Amino acid sequence: MKRYLLLFVAFILVFSVVGTFSSAKPVAKAQDAPSGTFLGTWPYTLPPDHHLNGFDASGLDTNLGVVYRQIVELTPAYYMWATNEYLPMLATEWGFTEDNSAYYIKLREDALWSDGTPITADDVIATYALARITNYFSVFSGGYISDVVKVDDYTVNFVFAGEPSLVAERGILKSSISAAASYGDLPQRALDMIASGAASDSEEWAALKTEITEFRPAQLLASGPYTYTLDDVSDSYMTLHWQPNSIFSSSVKFGEIRLWAGETEATTPLVLSGDIAHSTNVYPPSTQQAFADAGIRLLIMPRMYGPALLFNFDVHPFEVKEVRQAIAYLIDRSENAFLTNGLGATATVYMCGLLDSSVPVLMNQEDIDKLNRYELNRDKAAELLESVGFAKNSDGKWADADGNVIAAEYKFPAEFADFSAAAQNAIDQMNEFGFDITPVATPWQQTAQDIRDGNFELSVWSWASGSPFSSRQFFGPIQRFNYVGLTDGQKGMNFPMEFEYNGETINLDQMIKDASNGLDIEVQKQRAGQIALIINDLMPFIPLNVILSTEPWNEDLLAGGPADDDPILQNPSADHFIVLYLLNGTIGPAN
């Protein structure tokens, strides 16, 4: 028996070693497809969790993500942040109707699905009918659009529920259009449901919503130059195959898009070994350095958020404005940024709730000039604390007249290397200044829950967002983690959003919600300026720094990557340059 066991083990070992050094992969190529394989990564799931439904949370959005879904199911247009303009994709024309009651898009008449059938207004109508029942698109969940109307075979009007909105425009132009034929009779039933006037909280509406989300399309009809089936999804990578019928089929330079599974830990060795040519994952500074040392270029792009120091306004003395302002002055944000993400983070400059790169676009210069930049000034911080009754005690700690030291627990998510580094450095700097701050590392879900529940004293979470609109950038964290944006009695930061300010009663929550309404950019700038100045003065949170995306780009495998000063690198992940550069053939395989 023992002999057999030993023989078996020896057999396994020998077989493994033989297999190791004699592998050869046959790679099937579609006829007429361009040569070369783009080697990227995306953390998709495996079938049966992985499916081809574009209106379910575990469908295409999860498995292709915001980057790769757009090369399979095209959007009407592509947004360039540097020039604030949309470039045509599936649509040739778009805009507000003359009376501004609706937004229209006109599709390219030569656009085809991967099965060769034309892409028409009926597909747009079907897409929005399914999205309306499932509340899947922001134009519906945000209440911007009340109806979607077919004008002719290639033109669709989106009727505004209220005033016309640039936010809705982005929602319309950035949403992928799905093929009606992939969803059987569901689009028609959705249209019938909407036409019947059924309420969105009715049972029949909910039943149809369930039916739509549980539907599993047998095939993915693609408008982009790549498509795939569930057979192309393996546990190590999934492969998108070139298809000949897209308007971009002749311009793309890759025959396949191979997306490796896994997050940062799994993809790090694959990037170093050259199995992945480009990755959108977040890598810590030491790994970035390893990539650079290996000759792999790092592309730097905005990530449109950063860590913010959050105050609980129920915890004394953080409800005192001067204390918060003092903290803003005492933290060296450049040091904090470097320790957060190496060269992939920059210190916040304007300290007003809008990203520094967006401030010149979203605000008037007059208002920008009024912003206090809270440049490092510890004397000023001390002065502010003294102005509200604090003084340093014999231990070198700041204490009030009763001897109560400024002390707090600072909760941060242990798994988020960037946020935890930002928090720990802020703690070090505050303690060095004379506070008594205790770090408390918790699992990220716990941290998020505690912030929502108001079960924290100081914490860290993101501020701003990847949107070109001020209302969305202001949203985090003073709405997202404050009572106005929470539910079920959660208090979050409990920063009062209605208050007296300069002799006026202010409803900051409503001001932010209205900030991007309408079409008048100048009016929007004025609104944004007002809000920014209030936030800049009250400092309800400290925007410590802005994190940049540092994405490895292997030039031994990829040609045509953007130069460092290419304006497209101002686009964040939501409008990733890969989408445009893959489709128009700017990037291709290296020789």
Partner 1 sequence: MGAIPFRRTDQPVSQPSLWSLSKRLLRAVYRSYIFRVTVQGILTLWVVTTCTFYMIRKMPNNPIEVKIDEFQTKQNLTYEEARSKVAGLFDYDPDAPFIEQYTDYMGNLVQGDLGRSITTGRTPVSQQIAKYLPWTLFAVGLGLLISFVIGMIAGAAMAYWRGTVFDNVMTAFASISYGIPDFVIAFMILLIGGIQLELFQVGDYIGSVDPEIKAGFNPEYIRSLLQHVLLPVTTYVLASVGGWMLTMKSSTISTLGEDYITVAHARGLSQRRILFGYVGRNAMLPLMTRLAISVGFVLSGSIIIEYIFIYPGLGKYLFEMTGKRDYTTIQGIFLVTSAAVVISNILADLLYGVLDPRVRVGSK
Q: How far is the CB of 226 from partner 1 (least distance, A)?
A: 17
Chosen residue from 213, 219, 364, 393 binding partner 1 by CB under 8 A: 213
Backbone angles phi, psi at 114, to 5 degrees: -65, -20
> Is the CB of 2 or the CB of 500 nearer to partner 1?
2
Structure tokens at 81: 């942040």
DSSP E strands, 125-267: 145-152, 155-160, 226-227, 237-242, 256-260
Annotate each residue in 256-295 with x if it binds partner 1 (CB under 8 A) or - if it does not, as one string: ----xxx--xx--xx-xx-x------------------x-
Task: Show the binding pattern over residues 66-105: x = contacts partner 1 (CB under 8 A), - = does not.
Answer: x---------------------------------------
Kindly give, in sequence order, each residue whose CB lies less than 8 Å from that of residue 528, ignoring residues fewer than 6 positions away: 354, 362, 363, 470, 474, 515
| Residue 449 binding partner 1, by CB under 8 A | yes
Q: Does 463 bind partner 1 (CB under 8 A)?
A: no
312 versus 447: smaller Cβ distance to partner 1: 447
Give the nearest distance from C-beta 14 to partner 1 in angstroms: 10
Q: How far is the CB of 319 from partner 1 (least distance, A)?
A: 23
Least separation in angstroms between CB 62 and partner 1: 9
| Contact call for residue 567 and partner 1 (CB under 8 A) | no
Chosen residue from 114, 239, 346, 554 binding partner 1 by CB under 8 A: 239
- The distance of closest approach from Cβ of residue 126 to partner 1 in the complex, given in angstroms and rounded to an integer, is 19
Amino acid present at 242: W
| Residue entry with tokens 């605000």 | 363
Q: Which is nearer to partner 1, 466 or 562 (CB)?
A: 466
Rounded least distance, CB 9 to partner 1, Å: 6
Min CB(577)–partner 1 separation in Å? 18
Binders of partner 1 among residues 465 to 494 (CB under 8 A) are: 465-467, 472, 475, 479-480, 485-487
Q: Please tell me whether residue 237 binds partner 1 under the rule CB under 8 A.
A: yes
DSSP one-letter string for 217-239: -SS---SSSEE--GGGB-SSEEE
Q: What span, in angstroms and rounded, lies between the C-alpha atoms of 330 and 433?
A: 7
Q: Cβ neighbours of residue 404 under 8 Å, at least 6 residues apart?
A: none
Q: What are the Cα distances from residue 391, in Å, to 286, 378, 397, 402, 407?
A: 40, 14, 8, 10, 14
For 50, counting Cβ atoms within 10 Å of its Cβ (0-12 exposed, 13-18 middle, 19+ buried), the class is middle
Site string for partner 1, 350-389 (x = CB under 8 A): ----------------------------------------
| Other C-beta atoms lying within 10 Å of the C-beta of residue 279 | 24
Q: Strand, coil or helix: what is 518?
A: strand
Binder among 30, 49, 375, 387 for partner 1 (CB under 8 A): 49
Handedness of CA 141, 146, 150, 151 (dihedral sign): negative
Determine which residue in the list 40, 42, 51, 552 makes contact with partner 1, applying CB under 8 A. Answer: 51
Binding residues among 149-208 for partner 1 as defined by CB under 8 A: 206
Question: Rounded distance, CA 589 to CA 253, Å?
Answer: 7
Going along 464-543, which residue ranges are E strands? 498-501, 504-507, 541-543
For residues 277 and 272, what is the distance between their CA atoms, to the nearest angstrom?
A: 9
Look at residues 487, 413, 399, 482 and name the one whose alpha carbon lies nearest to residue 447: 413
* Residue with smaller CB distance to partner 1, 58 or 97: 58
Smallest gap, in angstroms, from Cβ of residue 57 to partner 1? 5
CA–CA distances in Å: residue 559 to residues 287, 296, 591: 23, 13, 8
**Of 15-23, 114-122, 346-354, 495-503: span binding partner 1 (CB under 8 A):** 15-23
Closest CB to partner 1 among 317 and 413?
413
The answer to whether 136 contacts partner 1 (rule: CB under 8 A) is: yes
Q: How far apart are the first and last CA of the chain?
A: 56
Instruction: Give 372 or 442: the residue with its C-beta nearer to partner 1.
Output: 442
